[in-house]
Structure 1
Amino acid sequence: MSGEENKVELNTIQLKKPIRAHGADVSEVTLREVTTEDIMDLGQPFLLIMDNGSTGVQIQHKTVAAWIVRLAGVPLSSVKAMDPADFGKATAMVMGFFGASDEPESS
Structure 2
Amino acid sequence: MQDVIDCDGAKKIPAVETDLVMKSVLDSMDYMNEGLIAATVQETDIAGHSQDMNLYAQHIMLVDNYLNILLEKMSEEDLLIMSADHGNDPTTGHSQYTREKPYYLFMEKSF
**Does TM-score exceed 0.5, indicating one fold?**
no
Q: TM-score, normalised by structure 1?
A: 0.28
Higher relative contact order (CA 8 A, sep 6+): 1
